[in-house]
Chain A
Amino acid sequence: MGFSLISLSLLVLILPMVSFLVLAFFGKKLPRNGDWFSTSLLFISLFISIYIFIAFISGGGSSLSVDWINLGSIATNFKAGIVLDNISCLMLVVVNTISSLVHLFSIKYMEGDAKYSRYFAFLGLFTFSMIGIVITNNLLLMYVFWELVGISSYLLIGFWYENKAPQEAAKKAFIVNRIGDIGFFTGIMIIFTFLGTFNFSEIFVGVELGKLSGAWLTATGILLFMGAVGKSAQFPLHVWLPDAMEGPTPVSALIHAATMVAAGVYMLARIFVMLSADALTVIAFIGAITAFIAASIAITQNDIKRVLAYSTVSQLGYMVMAHGIGAPSFAMFHLTTHAFFKACLFLGSGAVIYAMHHVQDIREMGGLRKKMPITFYAFLISTLAISGVPLTSGFLSKDSILAATMAFASENGGITYIIPIIAFGVAGLTAFYMFRLVIVTFTGEPRNIEKYEHCHEAPLVMTLPLIILSVLSIGFFYSSNPLSADGGWFMNMLKAPESLLAGTQGSINHILNGEEFKEAIHHAHYPAMFLSLCVAGLGILFAYLFYYWKKIDVEKVTNSIKPLYTFSLNKWYFDELYDKTAIAFTMLSARVLAWFDANIVDGVVNGSAFITQYTSKISGKFDNYFVDTLVNLAGGFAGFFGLIFRKVQTGKIQTYVSFVVFGIIVLYFVFRVFI
C-alpha cells in the first residue's frame, strides 16, 4: 500500500511536468495548441490526488527516502524523498483542484492569445513546482522547488512581456522573493551546520535532542520564516503580490489560491514543531501587521483584481498569524478554504474582466448581476465565505483562527492582546471591502453603458470552475456542525503534531501545551464567534450603507479623512518608501560600484594591459634585432660555407679521384712527418 501511494504521488508530480515539456516543445504542433492535453493531464493528476487523499484518510500516511547525492562521507549523504502526511495529501488535492480548474478556465480566457501553448506549458511548470514543495521530505529539495515556483511565477506574471507593466511586475516579484529566499537559504544552512541533515524528520529529532537550541534555533526559525515572508507576501515583502496582478487573471487565481503564496504557509506548517517561542512571536506579529495593512489598503482600491490581491495578503496574514499563535492546523484549514473561495473570486473577476473586455476598474462596472447571474452568485458565495458568514467554509476556518487568537491572548496576556484586536478589526474590514466590491461591481446602475451592452455571461468552461469552487466554499463539506469545525472530519484529519518545544518560555509568551491551548480555544470559541459575527455584520452593514443604500455619502467621508484615505489609496506609500530607501540605496551602491569598476578596475586592467603591451614591444624588439640576428648569422654562416664547399662537389668522379690521390699524398707526408 505504502509503495503504491508513493508511486502515485510521484505520478502526480510528473504529470504536470510532462504537460510542460510536451507543450513547451510540441505545443504549437498539437491540435488546438495542446490545451486539451495539459488540462486532461491535470484532471488525471487531480483524480489521483483525490485517491491518495482518500487512501490516506483510510489507511494512514507513508513516506519514502532514497539516497540522492553522496558527498564524501556518510555525514553528507543527501537523501531525497517523499512524505505523505495529512498536510501534504491535503495540499495535493488543493493544488491540483485549483490548477486543473484554472486550466479549464484559461481555455476560454486565453483564447486567441499568440502564446497560447506557452501559457499552458508555464501553468504545468508552476503546478509541478508547487507539488514538488508539497510532497518533498527535505528542506534542500523544498528549496529547489521553491525557486522553481519563483521562476515560473516570474514567467507567468510577465507573460504579456510586450508591455512595460508586466515586465516590471515580474521583475519585482522575482527580486522581492529573492530577498526572502536569502533568509530561507541561510536558515537551511544553519540547520545543516548544526544537524548535518536536510530531512525534516531528522531535523526534528536533532531539535528534540537539543543539538540546535536557544538563540540559534530562534534565528533559524525567523530566517526560515523570511522565506515565507517573501513567498507568502507578508509585511514588509508584500509589495510584489498586488503588482503580480499584471499577469493573466487565471494565473492570479493560481498564485493567490493554491501555489506560490500557499508555499510559505505550507512550509511554516512543515517546520512548525521546531519553531521557538520567540520565533513564533515574530511570526504572529508579522502576520497580524500584514493582515491589518493589507485590509486597510484594500478598502480604497478601485481595481477589481487589486482589491482581491490585498484581501489575499490580508488572509495570508491570518494564516501566518495562526502559525504564530501555535495553531498550524487552523492555518492549514484556512489555507484550504481560502484557496477555494479566493480562486473562485479571482476566476469570477476574470470572467467579469473577460465580459467587460479587459476593463478592471470597478467604477466602470455596475449592474452586472443581471448580465452575469452565474458569475454573480458564485462571486457572492465566495464573498460570504471570505467575510465569515455562517454556513460557509470561511466562517469555520476564520472563526477557528479568531478563537485561537483570543485563547492565545488570554493565556499570555499583556501585549499579545493586540493580536486578537487586529484579527477582529481585520475581519470587519474584510467584510466591508468585499461587500463594497460586490455591490459596486454587480448591483446598481451600469456606469459604462457601452461596455455594459456588450457584456454577457461567460461560457460554460468559465462558469463551471466557478460553480465547483463556490460549492466547495460551503461549510458543510468541512464539518457537519455548521457553527464549529472542531470535531469535524476535516479538523480531525488536520491534527497538527505537538510542538517539540511545548511549554518553553519566550520573552513575551510561551508555547502552549496542546491540551491546555485546545481547552482555551474551546472556551474562547463562542465569544469569538459572537464577536466575529458582529464585526462581519457591521462590515457588511457599512458596505450597504455606503454603497447600496447610499445613506452615507462616500465623498464626504473620504474628504473628512482625506489624509488617511490617500494614505490607504497609495498603499501606505510602501512602493515609494522602498523606492526612496532600499532601491535608492541599491542604485546608489550600484552606481558606486559602477564607478569603481569603470575607474579602478578598468584602470588596473588597462594598466596591466599597457604594461603587457610595453614589455611585449621590448621583447619584440629584442627578438627582431638580437635573436633574429643570431639566427640569421648562423644561417648566413652555414650558407657561406655551403657556397665554398659546393665547389668541391662537382659530381665528376675524376675530380674526386684527384682529391683522393691528393689526399693520399698529403696523408703520406703527414705520416712521414709525425710518425
Chain B
Amino acid sequence: MEVGLNHFLILSTVLFGIGLYALVSRKNAILVLMGIELILNSCNINLIAFTRYGGLGVDGQVVTIFVIILAVAEAAIALGIILNLYNNFSTVNIDEVDSMKE
C-alpha cells in the first residue's frame, strides 16, 4: 500500500486531536505546553505533506522551519512562566492558580 497524502493528513489530525485533548484535559502546566507542541507539530506534518504532494514547492518547508523556531521560542517563554508560577504558588497545577479570580 502506497503511503499517500491522506495518511499524513490522518496522522496529523490524530496528532492534533491528542494535542488538543492534552491542552484541554491536563491540569499540569507542562503537560498543557506539551499538548501545544503536539498541535504545532501536527501542523508541521500537514505543511510538509502538502510540500511533498501538493504544489506548494519550498514554501511549506520554510513555514515549517519558522514554526519550529516559533515553537522553541514559545517553549522557552512558557517554561519561564511556569517556573515563575512554581516559585510563586509552589504548584504548576493551572486550576490552583486563580488568585486573579474574584
Do A and B belong to a common assembly?
A: yes
- A residues sitting closer than 8 Å to B (CB atoms) are 651-654, 657-658, 661
Known contacts A651-B98, A661-B24; 7 further A-B pairs (Cβ under 8 A): A651-B101, A652-B95, A654-B32, A654-B94, A657-B20, A658-B24, A661-B20
Do A657 and B101 have beta carbons less than 8 Å apart? no
Give the distance in Å from the alpha carbon of A479 to the alpha carbon of B32 in the complex. 133
Chain B residues within an 8 Å CB radius of A657: 20, 23-24
Chain A residues within an 8 Å CB radius of B25: 654
- Closest CB in chain B relative to A330 CB, distance in Å: 105
Chain B contacts with A in 70-102, Cβ cutoff 8 A: 94-95, 98, 101
Chain A residues within an 8 Å CB radius of B20: 657, 661
Chain B residues within an 8 Å CB radius of A653: 94
Chain B residues within an 8 Å CB radius of A658: 24
Residues of chain B at interface, number, CB under 8 A: 9
**Secondary structure at chain A's binding surface: helix, strand, loop or mixed?**
helix
Do A654 and B98 have beta carbons less than 8 Å apart? no
Give the distance in Å from the alpha carbon of A653 to the alpha carbon of B23 in the complex. 10
Give the distance in Å from the alpha carbon of A378 to the alpha carbon of B62 in the complex. 138
Chain B residues within an 8 Å CB radius of A651: 98, 101
- Closest CB in chain A relative to B25 CB, distance in Å: 7
Chain B residues within an 8 Å CB radius of A654: 23-25, 32, 94
Give the distance in Å from the alpha carbon of A658 to the alpha carbon of B21 in the complex. 9
Closest to B32 in A: A654
Give the distance in Å from the alpha carbon of A654 to the alpha carbon of B25 in the complex. 7
- Closest CB in chain A relative to B77 CB, distance in Å: 16
Give the distance in Å from the alpha carbon of A653 to the alpha carbon of B97 in the complex. 11
Chain B residues within an 8 Å CB radius of A652: 94-95
Give the distance in Å from the alpha carbon of A652 to the alpha carbon of B93 in the complex. 12
Closest to A653 in B: B94
- Closest CB in chain A relative to B49 CB, distance in Å: 21
Give the distance in Å from the alpha carbon of A654 to the alpha carbon of B94 in the complex. 9
Give the distance in Å from the alpha carbon of A661 to the alpha carbon of B39 in the complex. 13
Q: Mark B15-46, 1 if CB is under 8 A from A, else 0.
A: 00000100111000000100000000000000
Most B CB within 10 A of own CB, among A653, A654, A657: A654
Closest to A650 in B: B101
Closest to B26 in A: A654
Instruction: Supply 11 A–B pairs (Cβ within 8 Å), ascending by A.
Output: A651-B98, A652-B94, A654-B23, A654-B24, A654-B25, A654-B32, A654-B94, A657-B20, A657-B23, A657-B24, A658-B24
Which 6 A-B pairs give the minimum distances between C-beta atoms? A651-B101, A658-B24, A654-B24, A657-B24, A657-B23, A651-B98
Closest to A654 in B: B24
Give the distance in Å from the alpha carbon of A654 to the alpha carbon of B98 in the complex. 13
Give the distance in Å from the alpha carbon of A657 to the alpha carbon of B95 in the complex. 14
